[in-house]
Amino acid sequence: MARLRNWIAVIGLLACPEVMADPLPALTPLDQHIWRAVGIVNTQGANGVAACTGTLVAADLVLTAAHCVWGDEPRFFVVDGLTTGTAYPAREIMIHPEYTKTPDVMARYAVDLALMRLQTPVQDVPPLRAGVYDPASVPNAPFALLGFHRMRPGALNGRYDCAATPGSAETLRLRCHVISGNSGGPVLTRNGNDWLVIGIAVATLGGAEAKQALVAILDDWVRTAR
């Protein structure tokens, strides 16, 4: 029970933006344009707040966290930020098949993955490619972590220097702070001149002095979805 209470507390941290005093910084306007495939997931479209983050991985397919799209409310993917962005409604929500099958909270975070099928494809934004994370080959490589959060809801935020801490093969922990809105944000590794999405931020761990982002690693369910 103690372990379960601890992980319930983790969920609460993501739901309360004031908990974090050091969120991801805003990217430059040029970088925000480069990362247009990273958008907002919410229930209100361009007029709503940044409830979560999503990544365009195909013209009509958005990767995000399962806990961000759980329930019956309609979901939107917003490109180019709030108020001036374009909202694309989802026509189908696909939750990772293992997400609801386990009562263990940590195991559930490892598969906290979902895909949103959009009603209409996004025509003018190149999707990001999904990659494979191999902890043996890049155990200490710097990772990029991008996302929208409620302290700066109109701007894409992120870092390119998130260091990994030891974890299991199913999850990855990064020394970068995440807050409400960052859930579903892509975690990327560099492959030559490209960045590949290898996971998404799903929660925050640790005490006030050692907060870390918990990452759900992409698996074949995500990489083969069409």
- The pLDDT of residue 48: 78
Express each pLDDT in 78-122 by its tens digit. Answer: 998 877 789 999 999 999 999 988 778 888 899 999 999 999 999
- Give SS3 for 5: helix
CATH architecture observed for domain 1-226: Beta Barrel (2.40)
Confidence of residue 75 (pLDDT cuts 50, 70, 90): very high
Domain ranges of the chain: 1-226
Q: Which positions ≥6 away from 5 have C-beta within 8 Å?
A: none
Nearest CA to 62 among 84, 86, 40, 85?
40
DSSP designation for 163: P
Confidence of residue 150 (pLDDT cuts 50, 70, 90): confident
Q: Which residue bears the tokens 């907002």?
A: 40
Q: What is the full DSSP assignment across 20-89?
A: -SS-PPBPPHHHHHHTTTEEEEESSGGGS---EEEEEEETTEEEE-GGGS-SSS--EEEES-TTTSEEEE
- The pLDDT of residue 139: 55
Express each pLDDT in 6-53 by its tens digit. Answer: 333 343 334 333 333 368 999 999 999 999 999 999 998 888 787 899
Nearest CA to 111 among 122, 119, 102?
102
At residue 129, does pLDDT exceed 70? yes
CA separation for the pair 174, 3 (Å, rounded): 21
- The pLDDT of residue 151: 80
Nearest CA to 168 among 110, 105, 112?
110
CA separation for the pair 123, 218 (Å, rounded): 25
- Phi, psi for 174 (deg, rounded to 5): -120, 145
CA separation for the pair 136, 134 (Å, rounded): 5
- The pLDDT of residue 74: 93
Which of 8-12, 48-52, 72-76, 199-203 has the lowest average pLDDT?
A: 8-12
Confidence of residue 208 (pLDDT cuts 50, 70, 90): low
Express each pLDDT in 173-194 by its tens digit. Answer: 998 989 889 999 999 998 888 8
CA separation for the pair 128, 64 (Å, rounded): 13
Signed CA dihedral, 223, 77, 89, 108: sign only = positive
- The pLDDT of residue 9: 34
CB-CB contact of 38 with 186 (8 Å): yes
